[in-house]
Structure 1
């Protein structure tokens, strides 16, 4: 009872930070993407090329859905990822997803930086399994860009509509990764158990 009274007096202190709200609100969408790529994580060898192709399709769609990056560095990270994936796939023609409504630039930054952080986890997994590491997984994690992003999102404290837009558009962005996964053969009914 005392905790509830103190929390009521300090309402803002009891609420999670905007970055925590973003993570929590997009967790299910994020996990659904991890689920569709579970075959790759379980046995990366036979799925490496389709995984790279799906990532290229998704990131290219993400770029097409963002008229302007939140900040130039985030746009450069996205462009570098796309270029590295293109190089890894040696010019293979990759199908594209249709472009819909534009995504909030901060949602695109969230997905771009999250993808870049995720490549470090995948790189370690590939090294552990003895598989050649593609150049798309070679760059280090964007820790300074991630810190700057966190600060920008936390600055949305008291702006629930702006934060809600980022959350909704991040979830829409995760759906691009799921669509790309399906397009490249992941999580088809005949492959699930």
Structure 2
């Protein structure tokens, strides 16, 4: 059974590579990229949605490894909201991203289920408890939205100039100051 799981992982990794290379991901193209037949791919993923969901999970699994390395306990559920948002800001500002990470969410027929999965997987990192006082919630949300904006700019532009990197560092420091003010 280990071979089947390994083949499944190889198919997903190949499909993510297609997206990251700016190529169209379909069941046919993913099968070709993975070196399997379309029926072989469909043994693991009967629909494009199944494949795309696995791709979202693959990308976020990588994100989570990077995020976990940025917090002391490596478990977002046990960390304070401030610690999680600090980690998220740092990750968004200096993580390694690809435009393909965003592209997989652009299929209009699959947008809702894929973005729902994306949000569910990222929620443990950015969730702010409902009972958080409004001023604190506002600062933490602002820091998170700053991080989201930097992440989006990095994903879409790919190459940041030295001036852009300096600006990001300043904005990152500002986001951290918002978090600190919330404590």
TM-score (norm 2): 0.30
Structure ranking higher on relative contact order (CA contacts 8 Å, 6+ apart) = 1
TM-score (norm 1): 0.29
